[in-house]
Amino acid sequence: MRAVRFTETGPSSVLHVDDDVPEPHAGPGRIRIAVVAAGVNAWDWKVRSGLAGIPVTAPRIPGGDAAGVVDEVGDGVTGVAVGDEVFGVAASGATAQHAVLAHWAVKPSALSFATAAGLPTPAETAVRALDLLGVAAGRTLVIGGASGGVGLTAAQIARERGVHVIGTASPSRHDLLRRLGITPVAYGDGLAARVRPLAPDGVDRALDAAGHGVVPDLIALTGDAAHVVSIADFSAHGARTTDGGEGRSWDALAEVAALIEAGRLEVPVASEFPMAEAGAAHDLSESGHAGGRVVIVVG
């Protein structure tokens, strides 16, 4: 099968397309899909660049998120059949003609494969972080990086749960946040002072979905480090962090897809790249300002 691979960590130029890669097969409890699109996440370029500290000792296919058509069903799997359209998280690399999924949900027919490929990591991470925060209806939540893949998903789920959401983003994305019912604010120095007038009753919880040193401001705003969760800054500052090691929220895949299908949530795709331009896809994600999900179309 064709797959994007890399054999050593480094810049995006280490990614190349191989035409003769052995196909993976679905073991027990798993399914295999003919991949139509693979989503690019920060983790993908962090592993590829070496930043994640994961040694690469053999050719490796990047990517975890994928959408496609089921073509093998492993022993013990029920509720899904060959030919079904699904999206989920790959146990093998996702940027390939076939990928074995460990977790998946049915893709609503109204969702494109590109949109579905962009969902798994943002959806799972957003729900996991919000559940950890335990923010209740009627309360105010500040999100650092509300225009990002995880942040924008979390902001809209929180809004659906009746939460008032204030979110940081670059100015070019403030209109999008406003349209989605999220109060935008610029990130950077002086954040706490900019947020206070927007939250006259105070800030109850805060989520750092972008990093860049925002956690101390979020602790100042909530008044309690226990009311702040970061997915991107593990230096902590006393705030709680989550990397999924403590448990995953896989039901989020179906929950978020249903919200999109119902027109209640948007996860915009910024750009679609062919496999041969996987490096450019990684570079756009790594820019930190992709303006939506980055997707590699597999063909």
Ligand X SMILES: NC(=O)c1ccc[n+]([C@@H]2O[C@H](COP(=O)([O-])OP(=O)(O)OC[C@H]3O[C@@H](n4cnc5c(N)ncnc54)[C@H](OP(=O)(O)O)[C@@H]3O)[C@@H](O)[C@H]2O)c1
Which residues are at the interface with ligand X (CB under 6 A)?
A: 41-43, 121, 125, 145, 147-151, 169-170, 173, 187, 209-212, 231-232, 242-244, 285, 288-290
Torsion, CA 219, CA 225, CA 228, CA 230, rounded to 10: 100
Q: How far is the CB of 89 from ligand X (least distance, A)?
A: 12
Q: How far is the CB of 7 from ligand X (least distance, A)?
A: 23
Whose Cβ is closer to ligand X: residue 97's or residue 271's?
A: 271
Q: How far is the CB of 228 from ligand X (least distance, A)?
A: 14
First-to-final CA distance of the chain: 10
Whose Cβ is closer to ligand X: residue 24's or residue 118's?
A: 118
Q: How far is the CB of 50 from ligand X (least distance, A)?
A: 15
Q: How far is the CB of 64 from ligand X (least distance, A)?
A: 10
Q: How far is the CB of 208 from ligand X (least distance, A)?
A: 9
Whose Cβ is closer to ligand X: residue 41's or residue 140's?
A: 41
Q: How far is the CB of 126 from ligand X (least distance, A)?
A: 9
Two tokens at 15? 């990614």
Whose Cβ is closer to ligand X: residue 32's or residue 282's?
A: 282
Whose Cβ is closer to ligand X: residue 41's or residue 222's?
A: 41
Whose Cβ is closer to ligand X: residue 16's or residue 240's?
A: 240
Whose Cβ is closer to ligand X: residue 62's or residue 151's?
A: 151
Whose Cβ is closer to ligand X: residue 36's or residue 269's?
A: 269
Q: How far is the CB of 26 from ligand X (least distance, A)?
A: 25
Q: Give the residue nearest to ligand X (CB).
A: 148
Among 287, 146, 292, which residue's Cα sits nearest to residue 207? 146
Residue 281 to residues 6, 63, 151, 287, 297: CA-CA distances in angstroms? 14, 11, 20, 10, 10
